[in-house]
Amino acid sequence: MAYRSELEARIAKKTTRAIVDYDMLENGDRVMVGLSGGKDSWALLQALDVLRQRAPIRFTLIAVNVDSGYKEYKHELITSTCKARGWDLRIEHTNIGQTIDDILDDGATPCSLCARLRRGVLYRIAKENGATKIALGHHADDYVETLLMNLFFAGALKAMPPKLVSDDGAHVVIRPLVYVGEDEARAYAKESELPIIGCCCPACGDLGLQRQRMKRMLMEIEREHPGVKQSMLKALGNVAPRHLLDTRLNPPAELRARVEAAQAVGPAAAGGKPRVAIPLRSV
Ligand code: SF4
């Protein structure tokens, strides 16, 4: 089966590289795609459907839409689109929107609570449908934005795992679009004539959200220095743990033991007296 366009070929190549790099799929997998109706999740579903027909391994797809319960949400359009393309779909109606409203104070950012609640629903549906993998549509821009958000606001140096095994080992979440840019996902959803459906959440598109701020900042820097986002993504796969301040990565006791061992062995091997190591603390 030939690719329909250069864009499709490029996205298929990047998605395949991610699947191989992070060992995302196995023969016989049943992959549940989180389908919000936004451009990224449509692009993911389309890309996986194309790969499914070409891949040397066999896997099946089921799309799952978690409806947060906002009245204007056009889930019928998701249903009709999936039906027209022969994609398996399950829609789960929830009251996540109302729950967020009830729990959060006015002005609080709802996204992390929303993501946790949706994740819980996805885990349950995955179990009910025998899904072995849960695929989410996070792309390269999401990775670098998340990295910056954690750096600036959470005091942590982290982005997102491309493959995550849940704490109890029961679920595997994969992000096959990790190498695909947001602009590519947008163009691919458009080229594939998939209807972009807003989530209808009041926070959606709120320019005051930290993520939107990171997006604007990155766009400005990228305009001045093209390739910055690509460099950031590359950095996430090129970590130098010894050049960081996390003592869990560089336990001081281990470092001291290495120095003491080297200092004790060095002179003895040369026929001299072993030196007495000076505890680093006293230096
Ligand atoms: S914008 Fe709305 S739907 Fe999207 S993660 Fe935030 S709260 Fe959830």
The domains of the chain are located at 6-239, 244-282
- Select from 36, 112, 114 the residue to mutate for testing ligand 1; criterion: most ligand atoms less than 8 Å from CB: 114
Contact between 48 and 31 under an 8 Å Cβ cutoff? The reply is yes
Least confident of 11-20, 104-113, 232-241: 104-113
Residue type (1 letter), 37: G
- Quick one: what percent of the chain has pLDDT higher than 70? 92
- Quick one: what percent of the chain has pLDDT higher than 90? 79
Instruction: Give residue 251 CA to ligand 1 midpoint distance, Å.
Output: 39
Collapsing DSSP to helix, strand or coil, 138 comes out as coil
Q: Where are the alpha helices (DSSP H) in the chain?
A: 6-21, 39-54, 75-85, 96-103, 111-128, 140-149, 182-191, 210-224, 228-236, 252-269
Angle at 173 between CA 172 and CA 176, to 5 degrees: 125
- Select from 199, 212, 215 the residue to mutate for testing ligand 1; criterion: most ligand atoms less than 8 Å from CB: 199
Instruction: Give residue 218 CA to ligand 1 midpoint distance, Å.
Output: 21
151 touches ligand 1 (CB under 6 Å): no
Nearest CA, atom 3, ligand 1: 201
Task: Report pLDDT for 283.
Answer: 39
Instruction: Give residue 261 CA to ligand 1 midpoint distance, Å.
Output: 54
Phi, psi for 66 (deg, rounded to 5)? -100, 105
Contact between 255 and 262 under an 8 Å Cβ cutoff? The reply is no
pLDDT in tens, 156-197: 999 999 999 999 999 999 999 999 999 999 999 999 999 999
User: Is the whole model's pTM more than 0.85, yes or no?
Assistant: yes
In CATH, 6-239 is 3.40.50.620:
yes
Angle at 115 between CA 170 and CA 195, to 5 degrees: 105
Report the atom number in ligand 1 closest to the C-alpha of 100: 7
